[in-house]
Chains A and B, each alone.
Chain A
Amino acid sequence: MTTSEATDRQVQAISSDEDVVRVRQLVRTAAVAAKLSLVDQTKVVTAASELARNTLVYGGGGSAEVCRVLNGSRHGVRIVFTDSGPGIADVELALTDGYTSGTGMGLGLSGARRLVDEFHLDTAVGAGTTVAVVKWAR
């Protein structure tokens, strides 16, 4: 992860549909504060929505930490999703377009990765999953 200053850190628990909506709203607020363009706001909120749903559905719930980051003069938004679910056995496969272990379209992880600038996935079977993403203002 890029070394950067983090501000306005907020943590949202993810244990229901409503929490996914709350995560979207938190990310939207942070993206506006970081002066992301409308398209970039839309991209990062969409990515956050996919990842929050993954945390809920596949991770059995968890949390999202949203903060604004500053790297030099560059503003951005960082979101870290954490769950203590079953973890992902085959990361390569999970990141393949169209792969789904559940009822989704298989675009969650791979699609979210395309929508952000930085994407870090940390997982182990039985040890949960952490996904950290950053979207920088242009």
Chain B
Amino acid sequence: MDRLPILKIGSVLLVSIQIDMQDQMALQLQEDLGQRIVDTGCKGVIIDITGLDIVDSFVGRTLSTIASISRVLDAETIVVGMRPAVAITLVELGLSLEGIRTALNVERGLELLARSTEPDTADDLELFGDPETASS
């Protein structure tokens, strides 16, 4: 059976779904991604669904499961590139894609990952306040 290629770019794994997937292929992706996260130690996964002209409950559930598996393996998943018609249909179908972060495109997804996987940036430190000034 065909497999979807998983590309590694820096510390991010990228999957671009360009074909009408059979259910089995979606399940295979789930397994392959888990393995690649462990093998590479990547902290982020981007799944590009620009090429998907529908997301039904099976694909939706698979995306949710992938996000959960990644989280357990200390990686964050972002689904990017959902077509507007797909978004409208998903909502009407009743699928909420729980636990999935989304971004409009790959570029925004990468930005989002860069922000959330680098906790040592000045922005994040400000949230907790400076320990010296906070105690005085």
Q: Which residues of A are interface residues toward B (Cβ below 8 A)?
A: 17-18, 20-21, 24-25, 28, 38-39, 41-43, 45-46, 49-50, 53, 97, 104-105, 107-108, 110-112, 114-115
Contact = CB atoms under 8 A, between A and B. Distances in A.
A42 B95 contact: no
Contacts of B58: 49, 53, 104
Interface in B15-40: 20-24
* Overall SS of chain A's interface: helix
Q: Which of A46, A110, A115 has the most CB of B within 10 A?
A: A46
A42 B55 CA distance: 9
Given A38-B85, A53-B23, A45 B53 contact: yes
B124 interface: no
A24 B23 contact: no
A107 B24 contact: no
Contacts of A114: 92-94
Given A25-B20, A39-B85, A104-B61, A45 B54 contact: yes
A112 to B, nearest CB: 8
Given A46-B55, A111-B93, A112-B93, 12 more contacts: A18-B22, A41-B85, A42-B85, A42-B86, A42-B88, A49-B58, A50-B56, A107-B94, A108-B57, A114-B92, A114-B93, A115-B93
A95 to B, nearest CB: 12
Given A97-B94, A105-B61, A20 B22 contact: yes
Contact of B54 (A17, A18, A46): A46
Contacts of A97: 94
B63 to A, nearest CB: 12
B56 A49 contact: yes
Interface in B67-110: 83-86, 88-89, 92-95
Give the 10 A-B residue pairs with the shortest CB-CB distance, closest first.
A17-B22, A111-B93, A42-B85, A49-B56, A107-B57, A39-B85, A46-B54, A42-B89, A17-B23, A105-B57
Given A39-B85, A42-B53, A50-B56, A24 B20 contact: yes
A53 B20 CA distance: 14
A107 B22 contact: no
B2 to A, nearest CB: 11
Contacts of A28: 53
30 contacts: A17-B23, A17-B24, A18-B22, A20-B22, A21-B20, A21-B21, A24-B54, A38-B85, A39-B84, A39-B89, A41-B85, A42-B83, A42-B85, A42-B89, A46-B55, A46-B56, A46-B89, A49-B54, A49-B56, A97-B94, A105-B57, A105-B61, A107-B94, A107-B95, A110-B94, A111-B92, A111-B93, A114-B94, A115-B89, A115-B93
